[in-house]
Amino acid sequence: MQGQGTLFKTEPKYNTFNIENRRYIGNKAKLSDWIMYLINNEIKEKLNSFADIFAGTASVTKASLKYFDKIITNDFLHSNNVIYKAFFENSGWNRKKLNEIIDNFNKLETNILQENYFSINFGGKFYHQNTARKIGYIRNEIERLKSELTEKEYNILLTSLIYTIDKIANTVGHFDAYRKIKIKEPKFELKLIEPFKTDKVQIFKADANQLVRKIKTDVAYIDPPYNSRQYSRFYHLYETLVKWEKPKLYGVALKPEPENVSEYCKVNAKNVFRDLIENLDAKYIAVSYNNTFNPKSNSSKNKISLEQIENILNKKGKTRVFENSYRFFNAGNTEFNNHKELLFITKVSE
């Protein structure tokens, strides 16, 4: 039909990323409604504050926005902190300005870009060489533009870059290893994330056991790692990308020197968990726990047993446990495991 082209040729249409559009081991995106339902159902009194102490993707923080007035969200990873600031911080940013910046990035011809820190280290491994060159170039440009951006805009651009490259990584969903295949060059299209309009969320980047000594909350949600897999090692590429200090990287997976190594992934896990619960100043505590039966590898074995969790929580107050069973696809060994997700809710004794 004649004229239709001009009629509809106004602003280009942008679609955006939501907070759960990300691959992250142990994320509770599919369980967050169930978790919130149980918390609301179990706790009859009106409560105002909620703290997501091991927030990961912050999918539970997101679900809590509907029910609580004051929310704390915390994780010790640098990349998660940038993501929380981008999605939740209540400060100024200009969508049109950021769309113009990413439009220019999307027009880049990869074959004229020079090799850079990102492409030299990760090209041909976690990303196609051309894609890696583009990612490194964009990361350098975001840093160069920093003085012209508000802090919120800077964090939105970094987070949008993470969400975009998460989709095209040559991995099974984390950066402990890459797939040994010939990588096809994917379509690279940077998209913005969709931040929340909220002033409810206070953001921390702290070790959980240090944090609980400083905060007070009505409901604390606890979802630590339970096996030996360190999140800082699995998502090292995002840590390197966000910090952009360009350190020397080691090993086949090109990891930096260890940082933010979690005690929850070590033999001492039970004691740090006990210390956390003892020092929590909360009226209610909700703890997620999952049980993957017959794990194939030692690294998947839980460091804290169900009984240990129960004993520690029972000392703090009356505890009830809820169960959600579902079929779970384990990307590592292409097999369906029986996966049980539990939620403990403790009413802390006066």
Ligand X SMILES: C[S@@+](CC[C@H](N)C(=O)[O-])C[C@H]1O[C@@H](n2cnc3c(N)ncnc32)[C@H](O)[C@@H]1O
Q: Which residue ranges make up the site for ligand X (CB under 6 A)?
A: 24, 26-28, 54-57, 59-60, 75-77, 80, 207-208, 223-225, 231, 262, 264
Nearer to ligand X, 93 or 175 (CB): 175
For the CB of residue 69, give the shortest distance to ligand X in the complex, in Å: 21
Contact 240, 120 (CB under 8 A): no
Nearer to ligand X, 68 or 105 (CB): 68
Nearer to ligand X, 36 or 208 (CB): 208
Half-sphere exposure in the Cβ direction for 306 (13 Å, CA): 13
Q: CA 190, 194, 196: angle at the middle one, nearest 5? A: 155
| Helix/strand/coil percentages in the chain, nearest 5 | 40, 20, 45
For the CB of residue 301, give the shortest distance to ligand X in the complex, in Å: 15
Nearer to ligand X, 57 or 346 (CB): 57
- Label each residue of 35-99 as H, E or C: HHHHHHHHCCCCCCEEEECCCCCCHHHHHHCCCCCEEEEECCCHHHHHHHHHHHCCCCCCHHHHH
Strand partners, 344: 287, 321
Nearer to ligand X, 81 or 170 (CB): 81
Pairing of strands 335-348, 317-330: antiparallel
Instruction: Single out the residue of 117, 33, 115 nearest to residue 67, CA to CA.
Output: 33
For the CB of residue 313, give the shortest distance to ligand X in the complex, in Å: 18
Nearer to ligand X, 57 or 319 (CB): 57
CA distance 124 to 116: 13
Nearer to ligand X, 51 or 190 (CB): 51
Nearer to ligand X, 102 or 309 (CB): 309
Nearer to ligand X, 207 or 310 (CB): 207
Which residue carries 């409901």 as its tokens?
A: 219
Residue nearest ligand X by beta-carbon distance: 56
For the CB of residue 61, give the shortest distance to ligand X in the complex, in Å: 8
Residue 181 DSSP SS3: coil
Tokens (6 digits) for 139: 């990361």
For the CB of residue 331, give the shortest distance to ligand X in the complex, in Å: 16
DSSP string covering 107-161: T--GGGSPP-HHHHHHBTTTB-HHHHHHHHHHHHHHHHTGGGS-HHHHHHHHHHH
CA distance 13 to 30: 28
Kindly provide the b/e burial profile for residues 8-47, where b requires at least 16 CB atoms within 10 angstroms of the residue's own CB: eeeeeeeeebebbbbebbbbbbebbeebbebbeeebeeeb
For the CB of residue 206, give the shortest distance to ligand X in the complex, in Å: 7
**Diameter over CA atoms, the chain:** 75
